[in-house]
Structure 1
Amino acid sequence: MATIEECRSALDKLSDNMASADGNVREAAALDRSLSCRITDLDITFAGRLEDGRIKVLDTLQGPPREKAQIRLTMAGDDLVAMVNGELNFARAWGSGRVKLEASLLDLLRLRKLL
């Protein structure tokens, strides 16, 4: 099972990857939205923002998020680490229910470019 530190490191790596991306990926990541990433097996939530093409984690909370973020991810810590390391395909994990992504329809349409 991934640790809190490994999950935080994976979010930082994902942020770096998004910030250095080009074209459609860079455009999709250029949203300015509140963001939460709930790690179910650790019972924690990373809360922050997606802005300027980066994920900015502002807080690590015990349990579920206290406020409903505009973009909400839910998954196990091992799945987060595996996705960021390229070992788990996001679209397949999302389609099978291993990863949940909730956002407005417009945001989902923009974020699909990240897939």
Structure 2
Amino acid sequence: MATITECREALTRLSGNLARAEGEVRGAAALDRTLSCHLTDLDTTFTGRLADGRIEVQDTHPGSPASKAQIRLRMTGDDLVALVDGRLNFAKAWASGRVSLEAGFRDLLRLRSLL
């Protein structure tokens, strides 16, 4: 089982990947939105912002998110690490229910290029 430290490192790597992205992916990552990532197996939530093509983790909370972020992810820590490492396909994980992504309709349309 992935640790909180490994999950934070995965989010840092994901942020770096988004910052280096080009084309449609770069445009999708350029949103300025609040973000939460709830890790169900660790019962921990990372909160922060997606801004300027980067994920800025601002805090870690035990349990579910205290407030509703504009973009909300929900998955296990192992799935987060596997997604960032490229061992798990986001679209397949989302379609099967392993990963949950909630956002406004317009944000979902922009984020689809990240899938």
TM-score when scaled to structure 2?
0.99
Superposed, 1:1-115 pairs within 5 Å as: 1-115=1-115
Q: How many residues align?
A: 115
Q: Which runs of 5+ in 1 are unaligned?
A: none
Unmatched tracts of structure 2, length 5 or more? none
- Tell me the amino acid that sits aligned with residue 86 of structure 1: G
Distance 2:57 2:34 in 1: 10
How far does residue 106 in structure 1 lie from its aligned partner after superposition?
0.3
Distance across 2 between alignment mates of 1:9 and 1:40: 17
Any idea what the Cα deviations from partners look like across 1:17-47, whole Å, max 9, x if unmatched? 0000000000000000000000000000000
**2-structure distance, mates of 1:82, 1:32:** 25
Structure 2: distance between partners of 1:13 and 1:94: 20
% identity of equivalent residues: 70
TM-score for both structures, normalised by structure 1: 0.99
Q: CA RMSD in A?
A: 0.3
In structure 2, distance between residues paired with 1:103 and 1:21: 21
Per-residue CA deviation, residues 64-92 of structure 1 (Å, 9 max, x unaligned), is: 11000000000000000000000000000
